[in-house]
Amino acid sequence: MNIVEAQGLGKRYRRTWALRDCSLAIPEGCVVALVGPNGAGKTTLLNLMVGLIEPTEGSVSVLGGEPAGSARALDGVGFVAQDTPLYQNLSVADTLRVIASLNRRWDQQRAEARLAELGIPMTRRVGRMSGGQQAQLALTLALARQPRLLVLDEPLAMLDPLARFDFMDTVMTAASADGLSVVLSSHALAELERVANYLIVLSRGRLQLAGKVDELLAGHRVLVGPAAESATLAGRLQVVHAAQNGDESRMLIAAADPDVSLPDGWREHQPSLEETALAYLRGPAEPAVPASVAPAGPAEVTA
C-alpha cells in the first residue's frame, strides 16, 4: 500500500508555480527525507499531502487512497508545521486539553507519559519553554492523535544539535513502535541520513529524484580522477553533476552501465545520501534519473 500517492500534482500561486507535474508513490512504513533548497516547493508539497491547500492540477491521496484533506485522511495524519505553532500563553496541560477537544482520536495517557519522560512539567507555560521543548510538545500533540502518517516540516530548523538528536530519536522510536510512516522535510542532511530509508529531492518546484535510499545509492557511483580526462570519460556516462578542484575531477553518475571500465588514475565509491542529494540539487533543473535507476512502481520518479 502507498501511504502517499500523487499524480501530476501542481500548485500555482497567481502566476508562479510552486510545484509542477509531481508524480510519486511512497510505500507504507517509510521514513522519507524530503530535501531541497528554500523555495523548492517542499512546504507546498507537504501542505498538499496534509490537505491544508488544494492543488491547482493533479491529485494527491494518502493512507492507501484517501483524498488528502478528507475527513478519513485527517484522522490518520499528524502534522508539525515549520514554525511549530502553539498557544504561547497556555500551560502544557491546558494545551493538551484544547487539542484533545479538537480531535476525535486522542491518547491523553500517552501524551502525559511522553511529556513526563521528557521532563516537561504540565504546569509550565508554553511561552517559557525552550525551542527544543516546544518542538517536543508539538510532536507529542501530533503523536497523541494516533496517526498512521506523520508529516514534519523543518522541525529541526531552530534546534541545537542535542535537541535535534533527541527529536529525531523520538520520531524513530515512534515510527518503530507504532509502524508510523514519516515524511520529514529538513536541510539537516546528516540527521536525515541517519534515519531515512526513502529520499525525495525537489528543485525549482520539480521532482528530481525519488525512491528507496538503498536502491538509489546502489544505482549511483562517485568517480574521482584526473581533471584532464574527465570530459572524455563523462561522454561515456550519464553524469548527474561534476565538479573540478584543481587537477582533480569528481562526478556523480547514474550507474546505468556497471561494466564501464575506468581509466588508470580513477577510483570510485558508492555515494552517501548527502552526496546524492547535493548532486541532484546542483545538477540540471529537469529530472535526470534514468529508467534503469527508477524504483519500481508507477511514475515514482517522473516530474
**pLDDT given for residue 257 in this prediction:** 58
Q: What is the pLDDT of residue 294?
A: 41
Q: List all residues 6 or more positions away from 57 whose beta carbon is below 8 Å from its beta carbon.
A: 8, 9, 10, 12
Q: Which residue shows C-alpha cell 529531492?
A: 201
Domain ranges in the chain are: 2-212, 214-282
Least confident of 78-82, 90-94, 216-220, 230-234: 230-234
Band (pLDDT 50/70/90 cuts) for residue 174 is confident
> Is residue 84 predicted with pLDDT exceeding 90?
no
Helix 161-178 / helix 131-144 crossing angle, nearest 10 deg: 10
Q: List the Cα angle 145/150/156 in 5-degree steps.
A: 115
Between 68-77, 113-122, 260-269, 278-287, the lowest mean confidence (pLDDT) is in 278-287
Cβ neighbours of residue 233 closer than 8 Å, sequence gap 6 or more = 223, 225, 262, 263, 266
285 vs 103, residue with greater confidence: 103
The confidence score (pLDDT) of residue 303 equals 30
Is the pLDDT score of 176 beyond 70? yes
Cell for 57? Answer: 492540477
pLDDT of residue 259: 62
Q: Report the share of the chain in percent with pLDDT over 90.
A: 64
Residues above pLDDT 70, as percent of the chain: 92
**Mean of pLDDT values over 114-137:** 93
* pLDDT above 50 (res 188): yes
Mean pLDDT of the chain: 88
Residue 299 has pLDDT above 70, yes or no: no
Report the top-level CATH class of 2-212.
alpha beta
Is it the case that residue 290 has pLDDT exceeding 80? no
Q: Mean pLDDT, to the nearest integer, of 188-211?
A: 92
pLDDT at 298 over 60: no
Residue with more model confidence, 262 or 222: 222
Q: What is the C-alpha to C-alpha distance for residues 62 and 51, in angstroms, rounded to an integer?
A: 10
